């Protein structure tokens, strides 16, 4: 009886491991634990929660501070080859928008990242990105409209920007007014939990 029990545990654990999906997070400083220890960032906290609940999802955080859509596009082929993810969450464009990069170029970069992910049999997921209105309402509207447009064109999930509420609370922001502080990280993790849970339950 003991041998049967051990065998069942082994089969369950190896099956669970085999069924674990990988999500490649391609983001910027908002997801890279900017100016804090990695373990304090929302991505680490979320992975900790996923591991605790034995959810079959592993997050590969390839986010870099200062990353642009061009930088993400340049890095993506190697990341896809090395990690062979099941999902690619694209949280990029904020730095492009803050620097006033041309909208068509941002669109081309995002489109190529989507197509590279699909060609690698990974499901791309876009995150809506919002920027301060420093460059005027016309640019801001065009920039922010890119994400729902690309989501519709390519029939992709569009996840909401996790900074929308956080950015309105000075107590949750660093002095630069752009980056979430340490206190904001567990709140971002809570926001993102339901979206990641959706991936787990959808298989």
Q: Which residues are catalytic?
A: 29, 176, 179
Angle of helix 137-154 versus helix 103-119 axis, rounded to 10: 20
Strands 87-91 and 21-27, bridge-based pairing? parallel
Take residue 45 and report the two structure tokens written for it: 């906290």
3-class state of residue 110 by DSSP: helix
Angle between helices 42-52 and 185-202 (to 10 degrees): 50
Q: Using alpha carbons only, give the angle 66, 67, 69 rounded to the nearest 5 degrees.
A: 140
Q: Of 109, 106, 87, 89, nearest to 97 (Cα)?
A: 106
Report how far Cα 97 is from the mean position of its chain's Cα atoms: 18
Question: Sheet of 87-91: strands edge to edge?
Answer: 57-61, 21-27, 87-91, 123-127, 158-159
Closest CA to 40 of 176, 189, 166: 189
């Amino acid at each position: 009886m003991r041998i049967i029990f051990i065998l069942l545990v082994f089969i369950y654990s190896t099956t669970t491991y085999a069924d674990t999906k990988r999500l490649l997070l391609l983001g910027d400083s908002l997801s890279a634990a900017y100016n804090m220890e990695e373990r304090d960032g929302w991505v680490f906290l979320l992975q900790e929660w996923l591991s605790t609940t034995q959810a079959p999802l592993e997050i590969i955080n390839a986010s870099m501070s200062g990353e642009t859509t061009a930088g993400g596009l340049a890095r993506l082929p190697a990341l896809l080859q090395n990690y062979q993810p099941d999902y690619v969450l694209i949280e990029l464009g904020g730095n492009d928008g803050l620097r006033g990069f041309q909208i068509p170029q941002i669109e081309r970069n995002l489109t190529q990242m989507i197509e590279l992910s699909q060609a690698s049999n990974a499901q791309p997921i876009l995150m809506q990105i919002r920027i301060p209105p420093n460059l005027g309402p016309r640019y801001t509207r065009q920039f922010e409209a890119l994400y729902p447009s690309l989501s519709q064109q390519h029939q992709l999930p569009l996840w909401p920007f996790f900074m929308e509420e956080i950015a309105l609370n000075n107590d949750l922001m660093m002095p630069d007014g752009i980056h979430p502080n340490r206190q904001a990280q567990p709140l971002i993790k809570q926001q993102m939990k339901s979206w990641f849970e959706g991936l787990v339950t959808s298989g």
